[in-house]
Amino acid sequence: MNITSSQGFDSSQPHVRRFITAILFAWFAISAYGIWAYASRETEPPVFDALSYVQKAQAFWAAVGSGHLFNPFNLEPPIRPFGTVFFTHPYGFTEDFRPFYFLSEFLPGVILVLSLAIVAGRNAWRNARETWFVGIVLIVAGSLPSYYQFASAEGVPIMGTWGFVDTLFGALGALAMAFATRAKPSSWMRDTFVSASLAVLTILVKPAGLTLMLLIAGSWGLMGLGATLRRNLARAALLKGISVYLVIYGSTALVLYHSAYFSKENYLYGLSSMKLLHAAQVTSPTVSQIFAKLHLAFGVPLTIILIAAVGFTVWQRQWERLCVALVCLAGGFWLWLGQTNIEHVRYFFPFPVMALTAALPALTHSSARFPRLVTAGSALLLVPTVIIAWLLLSANPSPRLERIVGTNLSTNLHAAEVAQGRALASILAADPSHSSIVYYCGVAPKVKAFEAVMDWNRVLGLKGGNSNPALPIDWVREHAYRLDEVIRAKYVVFEPYEHPDQASASLPVADDFDKEQVVVRAWLSSLNEASGVRIISDDGVRVLEIVDPMKVAAAASRDLLPHHIFRQVFLDGFTERSFLSPTEAQGLPGNRLAAPLELRWDGQVVALMDAVLVSANTDGTRLFDIYIHQQKALPEPGSGWTVFVHAMDDAGEIEQAYVFYKDSLLSPSGDVHYRLSLPVTSRSPVRYAVGIFRHGVGREDSFLTSEGGDWDGRRHVL
């Protein structure tokens, strides 16, 4: 019989610890094998957020290889920091995306387990029961369902997919929290330095790391203050720790302030994205919806452990830890439900794991007092882990079991769409001097898989990468289909309806984006050669080539607009396809230009901006009608115009920026009409400016310039 002595030593404890360690290693071996087995079969490249991390890695390692000094924050894309590179591409850049998929899914579990082991401390291993319980917690933390959600699958609920770094972001936040809340006087300064450094690392992974930095610093300060008041920590040590945080945070803030990463453009884009995300939540989420999302992110076992940990901080009167845990959870709920929406639980992920890290010691210290509960509870808590292990090792995992535990082991589901994307890329590669616009109808899994191939080639500079994407969702404007942008594309990709008339007739009122998407897809499904299009491929998704834009516009005017009631934002995105003469455009009432604006490329006049009209809808949205006449072809290949409008406050700072998608249809005989819109803002801009730049020209300064404009002639203030 093993008897715990008054010194807290249990003779069976070393055997239990070795057993738990063996189980952990076995679990991670199964996890690594399973994740790689699925990742190695995937043919769909990263897209959207995941692709931006790959792009950053490519730019980072190329800069390292150049041998020159560089600012990693200013590398493309500047909206992404470079911290992800060390976790997703630590070995250098490769065009093989499968290792990236593997590391993004596998590493978060390892880091979170390490975080909880650190905060549990050596005291957690002092007797067999406590050691056993800590081991159970670590195994559960290493087998969360969000680590095992792979390819997008229609109708399968998920938190994320291949290449998302939200779990990595949360695990790093938990690791920083572990050192911030250990509160060990013997290692106080070391823990302080490590916690502050790891906190900074979070902002090098995602911009939301700023929130985590504040939480970690506040948690460290609260734990330190409590230790000082209990005289467990000298006041001088607390003051030294504060100075460490100030130096590390201050130097980081200085670097970030002067970087493209923290530019005003990125800040405005972030605000716009959050606003649009939250606007999508039209009704308050129900309790069942919230728990369903928590199940996908954390699973039932970790949710139970977190609730128990927070409860035992009260029972043990560990008020500092309770405060830290509650503030983390409150901050997470505010960001998730208050700033985004119920569908994006990935934004919530870091906060509960940080709360658990702070509260775990209270739970582990109490576990030895409830031996029967720990024994029975351990068996139940491990059931999902056993099921996930079975699924990872199964040749054909059960969809029903996957729904129960919250995983999604789908992989290579969209091989047909990937093949279609490669086929179009081959067509484009035949004429690399020309860049084509490809319009993608929505972000459904099949359409997204097609776009993944095209964007992968474009971002990495591969053959067939001479395309530019256009979508109804750009996180700058309200989600909407703007038919001007559809018609001005060279290709349109969408999921067709087998019976488009039925789908269209079922929605006479398209008063939100989802309904609008159904109606537009149904209309596109009905187009044929007589409507000005040609079907390029129709295997998984349908790829249309816009052959005659005027016929497509006429089809929209005849077959789409009269049969449905649309939102104003949809109607604003479509203008009749009539080309005015330059004289007619210049004479339009309300023209803000006193004379045509000459637009130059390499010193040569290539186009005239003949008119700019500014108006407003009843909802306050400002509309800009811009008429441009191209006089000669540009000497360098490119994808056409990108027309933009800036709204500026009284200090000349950009309050809102709108970028209109590319136009590859330029009429040599008349003016092309562009309609742009700016949403309502909290402050009224006092001035507007317009300008044009080009995509796909292979040079840094790709603006068309005009005499007398600001920004060295790159935009014209109205």
Residue the block writes with tokens 């409860």: 311
Which residues share a beta bridge with 627?
611, 673
**Enclosing H/E stretch for 301:** helix 287-315
Domain ranges of the chain: 22-405, 415-572, 582-717
3-class SS of residue 605: strand
Calculate the CA 642 to chain-centre distance. 24
Residue type, 159: M
Q: How far is CA 530 from CA 132, 183, 552, 555, 579, in A?
A: 72, 74, 9, 9, 22
Q: Torsion angle, CA of 341/342/344/346, rounded to 10 degrees?
A: 120
State both tokens at 290.
């919230």
Report how far residue 174's alpha carbon sits from residue 158's, in angstroms, rounded to the nearest whole number: 22
N- to C-terminal Cα separation, the chain: 88
Report how far residue 85's alpha carbon sits from residue 91's, in angstroms, rounded to the nearest whole number: 9
Q: How many CB atoms lie within 10 A of CB 699?
A: 9
Calculate the CA 424 to chain-centre distance. 26
Q: How far is CA 511 from CA 70, 495, 569, in A?
A: 49, 21, 10
Q: Which of 617, 620, 623 is nearest to 690 (CA)?
A: 623
pLDDT tens sequence across 63-106: 999 989 999 999 989 899 999 999 999 999 999 999 999 999 99
Half-sphere exposure of 61 (CA within 13 A, CB side): 17
Peptide bond before 397: cis, by omega within 30 degrees of 0? no
Report how far residue 339's alpha carbon sits from residue 273's, in angstroms, rounded to the nearest whole number: 10
Report how far residue 363's alpha carbon sits from residue 234's, in angstroms, rounded to the nearest whole number: 27
pTM over 0.95: no
pLDDT tens sequence across 146-188: 999 999 998 899 999 999 999 999 999 999 999 999 877 888 9
Q: Which of 125, 221, 215 is nearest to 176 (CA)?
A: 215
Q: Which of 464, 671, 702, 508 is nearest to 602 (CA)?
A: 702
Peptide bond before 77: cis, by omega within 30 degrees of 0? yes
What is the maximum alpha-carbon separation in the chain? 101
Q: How many CB atoms lie within 10 A of CB 166?
A: 24
Cβ atoms of 227 and 319 closer than 8 Å: no
Which residues share a beta bridge with 509?
565
Q: Which of 559, 565, 666 is nearest to 607 (CA)?
A: 666
Candidates 3.40.50, 2.60.40, 2.70.50, 3.30.450; CATH matching 582-717 = 2.70.50
Residue type, 625: D
Series of mean pLDDT values for 10-residue runs along the chain (718 residues): 38 74 94 97 96 96 93 90 95 95 97 95 74 90 97 91 96 97 87 96 95 97 93 92 96 92 84 86 90 96 95 92 97 94 95 97 80 74 95 94 96 96 96 88 93 96 91 88 89 96 94 95 96 94 93 92 92 73 87 90 85 81 84 64 79 64 52 73 72 65 79 84
Supply the pLDDT for residue 131: 83
Cβ atoms of 536 and 491 closer than 8 Å: yes
